[in-house]
Structure 1
Amino acid sequence: MRTQTIKISPILNKVTSRRNEEDCYTLCWLQNGVDHIEINQTKYKNISNSVFFLTPDFDWKLYKTDTDSSSGYVLLIPRTLMDNPIFKNLHITQVRFFKSTDEIPKINLSPGIEKRVKSILEMLDELISTNLPNKEQAILSLLNTFFVYCDGKCNIKTFISDNNQKAALVYKFKKKIDTQFSKKHEVSAYAQLLHVSDKYLNECVKEVLGTNAKSLIAEKLVMTARHELKFTDKPIKEIAYQLGFSSPDYFSYFLKKHTNLPPSQIRKS
């Protein structure tokens, strides 16, 4: 494994463009500061908190708004590294098969994991520039962790396409969950907001993400509940009502069902 050939850099310049790295995939993690990405002379906007995987066949440019802070990272990954057995069971490795301009791999990351992804890439950036013992194993481990987050069921794996209506609906559904999860726990409530049937919404989620609509709502509730229990001093009763549960007992039942742990144990863990 030649992890020393991995290159990573924060997105700081007003324009960042393709580098002449013939045997490398390009991974772009984009934050709010990126206005748009241009791929093979086609412009794509509304790309905050998304990840692009581009083969060497693509010409690309990132256009950043005028700000002094970093707006994400560009990571160059050698083709040979993607053959490592550690990645073999991850959907992300399918990137090597995407060749045409109609199939540009893009993942819309769930907002709740943005801080985690940023921390992983910051550690990767720091580690690559060191000469620490076992550096290569550590780099591989961090890269694998990043890919695991990209493979997460709350993320939308899709292609950039003008006709991808189902992926667009799922993305809207996830955005609704992010703002309504503490008030609406039922799929039917979101289907009504999106002006579609429960059945069609579930079909779209299943096709795009390989899971069901109810699991996305539950995942958001579990992630938020764990954060509140571990990083605040709020009483369990207050957290239960804050997240829209009818009672602390039902909140406890819900967490046991999805994590095998009651709220008190999650708080201690």
Structure 2
Amino acid sequence: MPSIERPEPPYMQIAAEIRARIASGDLKVGDAVPSARQITRDWEVAMATAAKALALLGSEGLVRSVSGVGTIVAGDSLHLSAQDRVLAIERTGKIYPPGHYAKVRSAVLTAAPAEVAGALGLDEGEQVIQRRRTTYSAEDVALSTSVSWYPGDLAEVAPLLLETSRIPQGTSRYVEELTGRVVNATHVQHAGGGASAEDAQELGVEASTPVLLSRNRFLDAAGAVIEYGESTTLPGHWVFYEYTNGGGA
């Protein structure tokens, strides 16, 4: 049975649990989320606390109330960060929420640009694997587009990285299975920006449309970068981070 821990207020812990279920795909768009009455039973909290948790999720655009139905998961307003995708694989064995899918547009061996080489700890011009993909909603609407780079020496050990066919377990798990290198940490950067001409065309928007830009580095236990990626996401999609400060100021 769920239990309340400190120091976060109970309503925030409840909201975090439901938010995590949405991010992992356990609760998908249109699914009913636990009602206030069910939350009071499962978490053994007051009705006011349960209502506050649902109100918080509603203010984040993750859930909405439907007359005669209850509270359901709202539209595609949640953007899965790189870390979310790693956690989703661990929780469900799947990268994307039900109905969402990705198309790999290209997979090639190429010379590393300076920025990519720096991120992977290589010399500029060294061979790297480049995979470009676009992620779609269940309604076939493009939500984000991204590119990932891997050290070129993975081409021999993990040949599927150079194919555009889907890797069912995801690239991170695929590389782990073949090399034993496990993603131990994820470094993420976000910035607002304008869509490039290529990304705008892929996402079906005008060039320079405001978008969320992300850079992600996946590190193994030794601190070596297994994968470096960049992504562009349409506006109106929220990324959530939850953390506890270690102490005083």
Sort the TM-score into its range (normalised by shorter chain): under 0.3
TM-score between the two structures when normalised by the length of structure 1: 0.24
TM-score between the two structures when normalised by the length of structure 2: 0.25
Instruction: Say which structure is richer in strand.
Output: 2
